[in-house]
């Protein structure tokens, strides 16, 4: 089946390389302890577009020494500063991650501003002091927070942690993914321009085994907030246990999208594909498992095939692109491997496949893929693929649908479609996930975000995200 691809010649994305050779610690741009660097690669052209320092454990010691005395109550970052640099942020993420520019501007640049702008309201919603019997209950900042963030929504994931942590009165040490670190330097520049107290915000780039583990195990850091894979989250918890620090985890997902027999099948399938393919499927809460009544399976396949045929795959900076590349060669090979596994295990290939897209010889592109007739025991029904791969799974009745929906180690997100919203809500209450959208409802940036089971613990965004960074103390009067 043909998928629209952008016309040739392939893009060059010609820009001057971005060289970042300093870390932001104690309110200053400082030389890192080591001389190592990480290269940042344009996911469309496969060319190096920048370098950042490879920090180490001594840099974390330095950042902790700056963050501890800076740990005091202070006002949160004004949101307009991020908005002024939205275009720059969106273009960087489009090049690093591969999200089409129009979506990147709205999501990758828009959400970080919302993360900060929601904090004044969240601060007002917190009961900072309350009387319980003869006790005065007070809420206080947890202390120095290490923020370890992933590559798929690079700036949003930093702001979703740093915004509420700073608003709570904490100081932060941020370690972005070494794969997509460039936008974090923009945030550090904004912090510097605002003249916030030295040491309140610190940026140390590096990889997980070096800088990430140094943060998780450091006895001068009071809390770690981590977003990433479930495997890496287990390691963060293990290392952090040595100091019994608080850990918040937002991990993987294999989110179900239940289409009930009274739903508008055309609308539900079309929306479900969009929710699966957002950011080229590189979204932890993507609705990757579409559950449909067995008698409507063939009709769902036909709708999915027709929708995918009009997906426009190509340069994320080009107008009209709806699906860009994956973030790296390693991620591309991982996703293609899952597609091959799906075929080997007997799933029906409705669209796409593991072959390279025609006319896109360069860039980490994967064909938008749909499998059908997928059984719950198949690999592609259980493991997080993190690419544009949808699995359509038939069910026999409502109880069967809920059983299949809950039959994974994950519990991050989900969806329910029904002609009766009340019916949909009853089903949603039975799904063991942190979020469930009803009939394609939009993402709410101030609603609590987080998961059940091995999708993690703790919540981000809005008032609930702010509460994660507070300790509760009782004063007996």
Q: Are 86 and 310 in contact (CB under 8 A)?
A: no
Residue 309 among the catalytic residues: no
Q: Rounded to whole angstroms, what are the CA distances from 198 to 69, 74, 172, 174, 416? A: 9, 12, 11, 15, 47
- Among residues 250, 384, 437, 468, the one annotated as catalytic is 250
Q: Are 402 and 430 in contact (CB under 8 A)?
A: yes
Residue 250 among the catalytic residues: yes
Q: Are 150 and 157 in contact (CB under 8 A)?
A: yes
What lies within 8 Å, CB to CB, of 92 at 6+ separation is: 182, 183, 186
Rounded Cα gap, residues 380 and 360, in angstroms: 25
Burial class (CB in 10 A: 0-12, 13-18, 19+), 331: buried
For residue 278, what are its two tokens? 């957002």
Cis peptide before 210 (omega within 30 of 0): no
Q: Are 171 and 144 in contact (CB under 8 A)?
A: yes
For residue 233, the Cα-to-chain-centroid distance in whole angstroms is 14
β 246-250/223-227 pair status: parallel
What value, to the nearest 5°, has the Cα angle with vertex 204 and ends 17 and 363? Answer: 40
- Among residues 147, 170, 276, 284, the one annotated as catalytic is 284
For residue 192, what are its two tokens? 């510097």
For residue 38, what are its two tokens? 């990480």
Q: Give 355's DSSP letter.
A: S
- Helix, strand, coil proportions of the chain in percent (round to 5)? 40, 20, 40
Catalytic residue set: 250, 284
């Amino acid at each position: 089946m043909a998928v629209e691809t952008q016309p040739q010649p392939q893009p060059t994305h010609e820009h001057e390389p971005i060289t970042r050779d300093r870390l932001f610690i104690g309110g200053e741009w400082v030389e890192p302890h080591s001389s190592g660097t990480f290269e940042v690669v344009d996911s469309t052209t496969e060319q190096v577009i920048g370098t950042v320092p490879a920090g180490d454990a001594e840099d974390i010691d330095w950042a902790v020494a700056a963050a501890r005395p800076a740990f005091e109550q202070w006002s949160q970052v004004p949101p307009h500063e991020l908005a002024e640099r939205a275009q720059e942020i969106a273009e960087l993420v489009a090049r690093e991650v591969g999200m089409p520019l129009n979506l990147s501007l709205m999501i990758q640049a828009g959400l970080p501003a919302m993360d900060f702008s929601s904090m004044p309201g969240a601060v007002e919603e917190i009961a900072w002091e309350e009387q319980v019997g003869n006790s005065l209950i007070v809420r206080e900042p947890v202390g120095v927070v290490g923020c370890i963030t992933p590559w798929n929504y690079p700036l949003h994931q930093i702001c979703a942690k740093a915004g509420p942590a700073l608003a709570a009165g904490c100081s932060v040490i941020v370690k972005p993914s070494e794969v997509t670190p460039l936008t974090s330097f923009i945030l550090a520049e904004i912090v510097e321009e605002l003249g916030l107290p030295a040491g309140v915000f610190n940026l140390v780039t590096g990889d997980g085994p070096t800088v990430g583990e140094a943060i998780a195990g450091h006895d001068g850091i009071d809390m770690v907030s981590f977003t990433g894979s479930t495997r890496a989250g287990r390691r963060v918890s293990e290392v952090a246990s040595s100091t019994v620090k608080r850990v918040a985890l937002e991990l993987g997902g294999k989110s179900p999208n239940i289409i009930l027999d009274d739903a508008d099948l055309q609308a539900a399938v079309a929306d479900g594909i969009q929710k699966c393919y957002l950011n080229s499927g590189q979204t932890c809460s993507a609705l990757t498992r579409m559950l449909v009544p067995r008698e409507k399976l063939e009709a769902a396949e036909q709708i999915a095939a027709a929708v995918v045929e009009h997906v426009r795959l190509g340069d994320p900076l080009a107008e009209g692109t709806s699906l860009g590349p994956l973030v790296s060669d390693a991620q591309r090979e991982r996703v293609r491997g899952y597609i091959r596994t799906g075929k080997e295990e007997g799933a029906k290939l409705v669209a796409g496949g593991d072959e390279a897209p025609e006319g896109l010889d360069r860039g980490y592109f994967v064909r938008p893929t749909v499998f059908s007739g997928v059984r719950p025991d198949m690999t592609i029904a259980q493991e997080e693929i993190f690419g544009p791969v949808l699995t359509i799974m038939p069910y026999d009745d409502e109880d069967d649908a809920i059983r299949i929906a809950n039959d994974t180690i994950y519990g991050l997100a989900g969806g329910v479609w029904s002609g009766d919203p009340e019916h949909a809500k009853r089903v949603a209450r039975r799904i063991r996930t942190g979020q469930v959208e009803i009939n394609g409802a939009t993402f709410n940036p101030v609603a609590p975000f987080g998961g059940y089971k091995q999708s993690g613990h703790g919540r981000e965004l809005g008032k609930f995200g702010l509460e994660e960074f507070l300790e509760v103390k009782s004063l007996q009067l």
